[in-house]
Chain A
Amino acid sequence: MDYLDQLEAEAIAILREVAGQFEKPALLFSGGKDSITLVRLAEKAFRPGKFPFPLVHIDTGHNFPETITFRDQLAESIGEKLIIGLVQDSIDSGKAVEQKGKNASRNALQTVTLLETIEKYGFDACIGGARRDEEKARAKERIFSVRDEFGQWDPKRQRPELWNTFNGKIHKGENVRIFPISNWTELDVWNYIKREKIALPSIYFAHQREVVFRNGQFMAAAEALQIDEDDEVSTRTVRFRTVGDMTCTAAVESEKTDIDDIILEISQSKISERGARMDDKVSEAAMEDRKKGGYF
């Protein structure tokens, strides 16, 4: 079997386990290529039936407008339910406090809104598009990753995960994060998107954009970045390798407008995908600490 078929078959089987084992699952949808891939895999797992879960987007309010448009169109075209949790609501209710200063980001606040949304709808399983090749803490996370009622991940208390047998049994209040594409790499995802002709938000492809140069990287010149006179804004041809909050997703200079060129560029690239994420750079253990706190 071809490697993409193997990865696809594994992911479909994981999604069907979620359907079989949980009362109220949800698919966490960010509008990025990994969660768009999950949507395609869910179609493969459950059609001609409906998805046994809604799509859930935790919206920081600082997303790329292109992503939001894409999200709404996708949910409409596949005829599935979309639930949106707004970080702004968590801020307004006082549950989340906005960071101050120039490098302020709502990225960390997503955790608060995510946990609130899980509680509000009573989700017992949240499917996410994280991959083990992204980061070294993720390399050790299970495909079924149990979180306590505070959303915390305890790396030392992970359940052994044998064969393709997934234990999703939990106590009330706990929930399980599920990562069907754990074993995929960035390149696998791109090759799959190409093979399946999956549509993506336009920001993945080269386009002209006003950017500011901060901390060694180009950031989209958006209002949320609090640009002042010290910042040098220029227009460049760029694309994004990941699609997150505008305040923490850096662009790479690229002329690539075609998926084949992007695949080639990634194969040759010398910077890893999460290297373009400011949120991981804070310390060597940044991701591990965020996951322990309930992050995706």
Chain B
Amino acid sequence: MDILKFLTAGSVDDGKSTLIGRLLYDTDSVLADQLEAIQNANRKNDDGTVDLAILTDGLKAEREQGITIDVAYKYFQTHKRKFIIADTPGHIQYTRNMVTGASNADLAIILIDARKGVIEQTIRHSYLVSLLALKHVVVCVNKMDMVAYAEDVFEDIKASYLTLASQLNLKQITFIPVSALRGDNIVNSSLNMAWYNGKCLLEHLETVEVAEQNKNLPARFPVQWVIRPQTDELHDYRGYAGRVASGAFNVGDAVTVYPSGTKSNITKIEVFGGELNQATQGASVTIHLQDNLDISRGDLLAISSAAPTVANRIEADICWMDTKPLDTSQMYLIQHHSKVTKCKITDILYKVNINTLEKINTPDLGLNDIGRVEIKTADELAFDPYQLNKNNGGAIIIDSRTNVTVGALMLRAGL
């Protein structure tokens, strides 16, 4: 059994919270006392049934306003998989929250209201999914009950979404007609839509293969911590502790250390109480090298056969996340894995109108804006283009005066 992390994009009006509530409710993931708390809450559907959307409301402020402000994480599991849902708000003023949720997801569910079809926010959500390089998209055409479960409505929406998807280079797309409110095609196949022969949503989530695409990425290992016990019996012990960002490392592999460029071979891959021959993407291990090199936190071990991009002038896509706009004259910090160095965002190439995908020339980038920039870093970064290897291509910008994370970078290329 593995884990699938997915993102739900949509607004309250699309029934996003109801959809998640339905998944939790119909998979028996709501426990008695939580259900009791919901039943006691002063909010019901028009027909008096329990409002499942309350299951995903977290904070007082959100309950008061009836919207999701922040990313909420929800958990459920079936016999086949464990699921982590990043429930993110759909309004444009919460773009940064959706970007945050998408950064850790394998798959995105995009909700379209069957009565409205592809609208501005569908474009926006799909653009962000593409920007954050999520490979799998599930388009749930919701509220099918409101359009008499009509097949042609579904097919029309599907056709217009595919046009959008080709513009955004989204490839693996699955369309499912659903009613989250009535439970059609969420956990159980709907009797109301005999014309639909595909899987219901849960079955699709249980079976979609997400790990496969990661197998052939080049091996990358950011060093987080050097283990040096310096005791009498472990006098010469020196292990590099970290988590494999992408690809696979084998004992005997030739590796290069960045940014120094020195080379060595892996002599041992250690885990608590044992050794491995191979460590693959996502594994937290301790690596030992043949040579006694000066390696510290922030360095990257990379398989020598496939070098990363090493640069201090970098082009990147950016999502600005702070109320104070981007300042091209200010010094910021950039954090790429465990590496932190000073940087300047030297140039704003353009901003994207994420509702229309139009590129705008502008000197300003503010909260929730997305654009393309050039940055200059004090130390060189060793990265891969985000769209090719998102596990070694994402970085954050920190305002060193407030210490707040103010931007997300999807690195593209060295300049």
Contacts and interface: CB of A to CB of B under 8 A. Distances in A.
Interface of A: 1-3, 5-10, 12-13, 16-17, 19-20, 43-50, 132-133, 136-137, 139-140, 155-156, 158-165, 167, 169-171, 182-183, 185, 187-188, 269-272, 275, 284-285, 288
Given A160-B100, A162-B408, A167-B335, A271 B3 contact: no
Contacts of B69: 156
> B interface, by DSSP: helix, strand, loop or mixed?
mixed
Interface string B25-46: 0000001111001000100000
A50 B224 contact: no
B84 A183 contact: yes
B237 A48 contact: yes
B73 interface: yes
Given A140-B71, A183-B84, A185-B75, A1 B282 contact: yes
Interface in B128-167: none
B interface, how many residues as a size bin? 35 or more
A17 B242 CA distance: 9
Contact of A3 (B82, B280, B391): B82
A284 B403 CA distance: 32
A156 B70 CA distance: 8
Contacts, number: 164
A3 B284 contact: no
A139 B398 CA distance: 24
Interface stretch (B58-66, B114-122, B342-350, B354-362): B58-66
Interface stretch (B8-16, B185-193, B225-233, B377-385): B225-233
A136 B41 CA distance: 14
B260 interface: no
Contacts of B237: 48
A13 B337 contact: no
A16 B283 CA distance: 13
B408 A13 contact: no
Contact of A155 (B70, B229, B395): B70
Q: Closest 10 CB pairs between A and B?
A: A275-B33, A12-B284, A270-B32, A272-B31, A169-B403, A44-B272, A16-B224, A162-B103, A9-B284, A13-B243
Contact of A167 (B225, B229, B297, B403): B403
B229 A16 contact: no
